[in-house]
Structure 1
Amino acid sequence: MKTKIKSFSLFVLLFVANTVFPQQKATVVVAANLKTAMDSILKVYKQKNPNDEIQVTYGASGKFYEQISNGAPFDLFFSADMNYPTQLKNNGFAISPIKLYAIGRLAIWSKKLDPNIEKMNLLLNPKVKKIAIGNPKTAPYGAKTIESLKHFKLYTKVKNNLVFGENIAQAAQFAAFGAADIGIIALSDALSPAMIKERGKYYVIPQKSHSRLEQGCVILKHGKGNTVAKQFYDYISSEKAIKILTYYGYSQK
């Protein structure tokens, strides 16, 4: 009898908790360069907001743009640039102001060679046969890489050695696991625990060699009225979130 009473009491408590504090959900799509930082931000956010469920998918900003433009039911989009959110806003697929949440950096990363010795000229080293970068058609970091290579007058010399990851995180994987000799990747990936574990070395590419990697987020049309999406959109500007972004190599200006 006591066991039945305890079970019934537990059921009532759970019912009341879910009624008074219902779990809310937001579907968020995030540029691949942000994965390590975003995972950390989400962990801290969930500690303060345990009833908020945030479902995150990482990938290439350009691919997400296409999916959103075709009606994909996402609530919040963290892009690797400002262009995709701006286009979505102009075409009626976004409802919030476009927020600049981070400025990224590019880095040359290698497991075999030290990029700090030759810097950009490492790309011309005869030992380097394959250079992994993000696909410039869908990954803003890949597009900025091409800008940088052209700035240093290296593009025509190395273009036949380029191998493309679907996104910048995949380019990092190519470099880490031997599918490429070096990678031009996001600094945030170079600073991630996974890449540090691979014992590679990196060199930060001068920012003057490409237009700034300004990254923007926006609440999408599907997220209208979604309080979790709005709350997380606001949270990315919080002191704690900015501290995590800074730790992984991002800046705010």
Structure 2
Amino acid sequence: MHAQQKITIAAAANLKIALDSINTVFKIQNPTINSQVTYGASGKFFEQISNSAPFDLFFSADMDYPKKLEEKKLTASKIKMYATGKLVIWSKKTDPNKSRMNSLLNSDIRKIAIGNPVTAPYGEKAVESLKFYKIYDKLKSKLVFGENITQATQFITTGNADIGITALSLVLTPNMKKEGGKYYIIPTNSHSALEQGCVILKNAKGNPSALKFYNFISSKKAAAIFKYYGYDTQTK
């Protein structure tokens, strides 16, 4: 029996269910590797990694944070775009498919949850969409920010917000389906693409286990799981 090699992965909150599923399959195929994932806001992880947090891999909700780490010479691989995410309007109180973006303008809505646009790329793209449809100024006083996209989604499920903009990957999870809410997929032409990048970090330079996980993300198995949770991937 070989000793288990541990690798630590920092991952954007939108990935929670998809990456947990991918990691389960990875561990079955690689029983000697103990891959542990921590989820949070990409911007927060960028700060932590910049301050020497000992992560081996970083899965961001965008390409920018990995590029910034590359500029700081804190990476040990090429940046790989592993998936493209989608934004949705989600609510338990109303069906956003009826009025689409205008459902956010409903006078009954007091609070709209989004990810913090400073630290969460999904929050940043939500603001881009609101500005694209010229409704941001009307709605900005109603916006409440989750530190990451998972927290923003919790605001809607708990009733602390009436409606919100979240990740399609999160509303497709079993727990969210049980909530009985309705979602509308926001047209992707209303915001810059939610291209998500991963990279091996300097901490794991020459670590074969980190490289295995990095390569596994491009596999057909991983791509199938990403697609199941609403992402687009480049793997055919």
Q: 2:68 matched to 1:50?
A: no
Q: 2:200 matched to 1:245?
A: no
User: What CA RMSD, in Å, does the superposition of the two structures yield over aligned residues?
Assistant: 0.7
Map 1:1-253; keep pairs closer than 5 Å: 17=1, 21-252=2-233
Q: TM-score, normalised by structure 1?
A: 0.91
Regions of 4+ moved over 3 Å: none
SS of match in other structure, 1:132? strand
Q: TM-score, normalised by structure 2?
A: 0.98
Amino acid at match of 1:82: M
**CA offsets 1:154-196 (integer angstroms, 9 cap, x no match):** 1000000000000011111110111100010000011111111
SS of match in other structure, 1:84? helix
The answer for unaligned runs of 5 or more in structure 1 is 1-16
Q: Return the alpha-carbon distance in structure 2 between the equivalents of residues 214 and 236 of structure 1.
A: 15
Q: Return the alpha-carbon distance in structure 1 between the equivalents of residues 83 and 187 of structure 2.
A: 17
SS of match in other structure, 1:232? helix
Q: Return the alpha-carbon distance in structure 2 between the equivalents of residues 226 and 54 of structure 1.
A: 13
Deviation at 1:127, TM superposition (A): 1.1
SS of match in other structure, 1:47? helix
SS of match in other structure, 2:49? helix
Q: Greater helix percent: which structure?
A: 1
Deviation at 1:22, TM superposition (A): 2.1
SS of match in other structure, 2:198? strand
Larger radius of gyration: 1
Paired residues, what number?
Answer: 234
SS of match in other structure, 1:178? coil
Q: Return the alpha-carbon distance in structure 2 between the equivalents of residues 199 and 89 of structure 1.
A: 42
Amino acid at match of 2:174: P
Deviation at 1:63, TM superposition (A): 0.1
SS of match in other structure, 1:73? coil
SS of match in other structure, 2:159? coil
